Amino acid sequence: MVRLRTLLSSINNAEKMKHQRVPILLWTHRNEICDYVQEDIDHILFDCDGVLYRSPDVIPGARECIESLQRRGKQVFFVTNNASSSRSELRHKLTKMLRIDDEHLKDTQMVGCAYAAACYLRQQLEKAARVYVIGSPGLCDELQSAGFNVVNTPAHEPHFMDRHDMMQYSFPKDIDAVVVGHDPTFSFRKLTTATVILQQNPHALFVATNRDAYDLVGTDALRIPGNGSLVQSLECASSRVAVNVGKPSRTLAELIESEHGLNLSRTMMIGDRLDTDIQFGNDSGMFTALVLTGVTGANDIYQTLMQQDQGHCTPMPDAIFPFVGLLS
């Protein structure tokens, strides 16, 4: 494992690399981070899994970090690509896991990709449009709250579907959109149903809550397939390309900016993934900070810096620090 000292040396040498954005700040002391945030940042966007917790473990100092920022008058938002929870469910999860008083967090601070999907569809479709959903009850709740008629595959139906089943099955009719969110009960039947819907309704919208390839679970960092694996399977079968409304899409950035009036140049995005969190912040003009408690570790940064010198272009943060507890 590459240590932080080796990482710092790599970053300091980055000016010699053709494609590397410089300088990258490496913060290792609390005062460095807090001073910068106090002077230059008004709004902080947190990714959740890998930043505040790595399910089911909480990152040390996460609660104190959030409470300290809010005491100092900073606007705090939680921007997650996890579509399994509605905004109220995400708030409840955070208050319970981080042991924050319920009154200190509001639903309006929760910016999940389930909510982003509902907002996007509201802009594109009439109220009461029919939406076929692959995803969790939380995603369905957000879409129903936005006024859509949610259709999904009943839980009692078998997971398989062969050619004989297809010929006899009554596929949902008059579907205006297909939305795909992370679904631990994803099945061949759901994949087939969504494929046929997109085939029979060529003008139906195809929306992905995110395209994350995988996430990490627990201190052993076990890989769990992400929503991107589901989305790509449907893209392959349907010959359609989904609209991504999660990080790093500009659609999500515009939603946050318009709803909360953020000055993006004084906004910090804190995340653990280069391809979603950091790309999202960079593309939107935010200050980006990477923590090393999630998907991207020090060794990954080191390897990326080496590849940059060989012509590979990967989004890099403005700053790196070990964990959010240093921001308390």
For 218-252, write each residue's pLDDT tens digit. Answer: 777 788 899 999 999 999 999 999 999 999 999 99
The whole-number pLDDT of residue 59 equals 96
The whole-number pLDDT of residue 55 equals 78
Residue 54 pLDDT grade (very low, low, confident, very high; cuts 50, 70, 90): confident
Q: What percent of the chain has pLDDT over 70?
A: 91
The domain ranges of the chain are: 4-81+248-327, 130-244
Indicate the angle between helix axes 188-200 and 227-238, nearest 10 degrees: 50
Residue 11 pLDDT grade (very low, low, confident, very high; cuts 50, 70, 90): low
The whole-number pLDDT of residue 152 equals 96
The average pLDDT across 251-275 equals 95
> So which residues are the catalytic ones?
47, 49
The whole-number pLDDT of residue 1 equals 44
Q: Which residues are annotated as a binding site?
A: 47, 49, 247, 272
The whole-number pLDDT of residue 12 equals 57
The average pLDDT across 124-137 equals 96
Return the CATH class of domain 130-244: alpha beta
Q: What percent of the chain has pLDDT over 90?
A: 78
Q: Which residues are annotated as a binding site for Mg(2+)?
A: 47, 49, 272
pTM score: 0.88
The whole-number pLDDT of residue 73 equals 96
Q: Which residues are annotated as a binding site for substrate?
A: 247
Backbone angles phi, psi at 217, to 5 degrees: -120, 125
The average pLDDT across 261-277 equals 96
171 has a pLDDT exceeding 70: yes
Virtual CA dihedral for 204, 210, 212, 217, nearest 10 degrees? -120
The whole-number pLDDT of residue 302 equals 80
The average pLDDT across 174-193 equals 97
Amino acid at position 227, single letter? N
Residue 113 vs residue 5, higher pLDDT: 113
Can you name the residues that pair with 134 across neighbouring β-strands? 180
Question: How far, rounded to the nearest angstrom, does the alpha carbon of residue 57 sit from its chain's CA centroid?
Answer: 18
Across the beta sheet with 130-134, what order do the strands follow? Answer: 149-151, 130-134, 177-180, 205-208, 243-244
71 has a pLDDT exceeding 80: yes
Residue 311 pLDDT grade (very low, low, confident, very high; cuts 50, 70, 90): low
4-81+248-327 topology per CATH = Rossmann fold (3.40.50)
Residue-averaged pLDDT of the chain? 91
Distance CA 81, CA 203 (A): 26
The whole-number pLDDT of residue 230 equals 97
Strands (E), 213-324: 214-217, 222-225, 243-244, 267-271, 287-291, 319-321
Place of tokens 């694996």: 229
With beta carbons less than 8 A apart as the criterion, state whether 78 and 90 touch: yes
Domains 4-81+248-327 and 130-244 share a fold: yes
Backbone angles phi, psi at 179, to 5 degrees: -120, 130
